[in-house]
């Protein structure tokens, strides 16, 4: 059950002790100031202290606490004891019910208790006929209403503060989860592509080691380059995780005029390097990239990064799951207000593609594209398997002329 923001023992103890002190000394003093009142004895003091006692002992039963406090103060007044501070114990119970009980029920119980208490007070005043003024009764009722309204305001303010803290904690948890997912995708893309490339190149090197030393040396050089690039990208990602400016871990900051980037950066002109593992296997990879999109900064970094990872993961999937593929076409261009990226292979029907087409790679691609506000389609195509992503471009770029250029089998293409 949703309890109030002050539903703890310390606030109740503090209020109960404060009320007990005020009620005790106030009641003893009031008996001397009101000549016609009955002298306070043990019974009177006990009745006056019922409010502070039930405030501590019955925090989870607000209705019973209010009834006991109201009955005690009614009995106290009916027996002729002095007016005044004895009512404070019951008002304290009503205030604590508002602060600690379930919100909707607490209001009903507290205000109903206040009406019941003042009905009993008015009845006791009529029975005693000791010259009690109506103005004094109305003033006491007004002060009770003020106390309840102040308690309501405090509760709402504390509830809003608690809700704000909970929302902030939820946003922080969401941000952490989102960052973890982003880092996981980055590491998956880097490691899956790089290790796949290293595996292919190592196989080529072993196969040619005794027959063609130069080709084997070239494969080993490719392994070195691929592993170095992968280490650089992993280092950049881990630098973000550690929150270090140097991205290294040796405790030495880089020169201030050449700081390392906190996150990996890409440009679309670097896409052809992703084809090396497939080319080492004899697969022709053709790139049709709009020249206007290739210079650094021509496409916003977050859009270029998504496009780069889509191509990277698509080519990795071809290398791992399409052993029959011999030709892959990568197209990148504008389509209205979107950057469109397509990767098609000729690996044959879907059944010739090994592995699970709904694995982490495709899921990561989809999450990355959708996170940028785009859409991704992946599935069997006429020749084999096709991946198509559409990523929104900023307004200042999407308005420029341009569109998808179809791949042409001419010498301008990057191929095997």
**How far, in Å, CA of 69 to CA of 8, rounded?**
20
pTM here?
0.48
- pLDDT beyond 80 at 300: yes
DSSP letters, 136-168, are HHHHHHHHHHHHHHHHHHHHHHHHHHHHHHHHH
**How far, in Å, CA of 54 to CA of 64, rounded?**
9
Q: Which of the 8 DSSP states describes residue 81? A: B
Label residue 340 by pLDDT band (50, 70, 90): very high
pLDDT at position 344:
92
Label residue 353 by pLDDT band (50, 70, 90): low
Q: Which of 19-28, 200-209, 303-312, 363-372 has the lowest mean pLDDT?
A: 200-209
pLDDT at position 292:
87
**Spatial CA neighbour of 335 closest among 407, 402, 408:** 402
Q: How far is CA 24 from CA 29, 46, 51, 80, in A?
A: 9, 9, 12, 17
pLDDT above 90: percentage of residues in the chain: 10
Adjacency order of strands within the sheet including 327-335: 284-289, 327-335, 338-345, 385-392, 375-380
pLDDT at position 11:
67
Cβ atoms of 274 and 408 closer than 8 Å: no
338 has which bridge partners?
Answer: 335, 392
In the numeric block, which tokens belong to residue 289?
Answer: 């990239």
CB atoms closer than 10 angstroms to residue 176: 10
pLDDT at position 265:
52
Write out the H or E segment, with its range, that includes residue 117.
Answer: helix 103-128
**How far, in Å, CA of 272 to CA of 270, rounded?**
6
Q: For 166-182, what is each residue's pLDDT tens digit?
A: 999 999 998 888 877 77
pLDDT at position 124:
78
Higher pLDDT, 145 or 280: 145
pLDDT at position 387:
93
pLDDT at position 410:
38
pLDDT at position 360:
64
Q: Which of 240-254, 286-300, 319-333 has the lowest mean pLDDT?
A: 240-254
- pLDDT beyond 60 at 270: yes
354: Cα within 13 Å, side-chain hemisphere: 9
pLDDT at position 145:
86
Q: For 355-383, what is each residue's pLDDT tens digit?
A: 444 556 788 788 889 888 999 998 888 88
pLDDT at position 342:
94
**How far, in Å, CA of 336 to CA of 30, rounded?**
86
Label residue 130 by pLDDT band (50, 70, 90): low
The overall average pLDDT reported for the chain is 76
pLDDT at position 331:
93
Q: For 29-54, what is each residue's pLDDT tens digit?
A: 776 777 667 777 888 888 888 888 88
**Spatial CA neighbour of 317 closest among 154, 220, 189:** 189
**Spatial CA neighbour of 86 closest among 134, 37, 49:** 49
pLDDT at position 144:
82
Q: Across residues 375-395, what is the average pLDDT?
A: 89
- pLDDT beyond 80 at 183: no
Cβ atoms of 331 and 342 closer than 8 Å: yes
Label residue 220 by pLDDT band (50, 70, 90): confident
Q: Across residues 266-274, what is the average pLDDT?
A: 80
């Amino acid at each position: 059950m949703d309890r109030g923001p002050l539903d703890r023992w310390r606030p109740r103890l503090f209020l109960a002790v404060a009320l007990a002190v005020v009620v005790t000394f106030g009641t003893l003093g009031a008996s001397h100031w009101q000549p016609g009142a009955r002298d306070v004895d043990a019974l009177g003091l006990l009745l006056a202290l019922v409010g502070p006692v039930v405030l501590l002992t019955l925090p989870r039963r607000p209705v019973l606490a209010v009834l006991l406090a109201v009955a005690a103060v009614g009995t106290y007044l009916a027996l002729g004891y002095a007016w005044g501070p004895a009512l404070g114990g019951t008002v304290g119970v009503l205030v604590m019910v508002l602060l600690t009980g379930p919100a909707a029920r607490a209001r009903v119980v507290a205000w109903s208790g206040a009406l019941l208490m003042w009905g009993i007070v008015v009845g006791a005043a009529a029975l005693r006929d000791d010259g009690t003024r109506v103005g004094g009764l109305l003033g006491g009722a007004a002060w009770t209403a003020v106390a309840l309204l102040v308690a309501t305001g405090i509760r709402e303010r504390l509830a809003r503060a608690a809700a704000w803290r909970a929302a902030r904690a939820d946003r922080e948890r969401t941000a952490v989860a989102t960052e973890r997912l982003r880092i996981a995708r980055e590491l998956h893309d880097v490691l899956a592509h790089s290790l796949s490339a290293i595996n292919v190149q190592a196989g080529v090197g072993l196969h040619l080691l005794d027959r063609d030393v130069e080709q084997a040396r070239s494969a080993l050089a490719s392994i070195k380059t691929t592993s170095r690039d992968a280490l650089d990208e992993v280092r950049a990602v881990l630098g973000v995780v550690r929150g270090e400016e140097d991205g290294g871990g040796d405790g030495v900051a880089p020169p201030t005029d050449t700081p390392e980037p906190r996150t990996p950066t890409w440009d679309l002109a670097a896409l052809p390097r992703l084809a090396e593992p497939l080319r080492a296997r004899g697969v022709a990879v053709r790139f049709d990239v709009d020249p206007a999109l290739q210079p650094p900064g021509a496409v916003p970094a977050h859009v270029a990064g998504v496009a780069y990872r889509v191509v990277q993961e698509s080519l990795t999937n071809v290398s791992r799951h399409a052993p029959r593929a011999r030709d892959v076409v990568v197209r990148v261009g504008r389509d209205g207000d979107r950057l469109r990226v397509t990767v098609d292979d000729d690996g044959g029907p879907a059944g010739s593609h090994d592995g699970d087409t709904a694995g982490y790679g495709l899921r990561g691609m989809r999450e990355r594209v959708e996170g940028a506000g785009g859409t991704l389609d992946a599935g069997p195509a006429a020749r084999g398997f096709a991946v198509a992503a559409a990523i929104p471009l900023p307004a200042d770029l999407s308005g420029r002329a341009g569109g998808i250029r179809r791949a042409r089998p001419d010498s301008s293409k990057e191929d095997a």
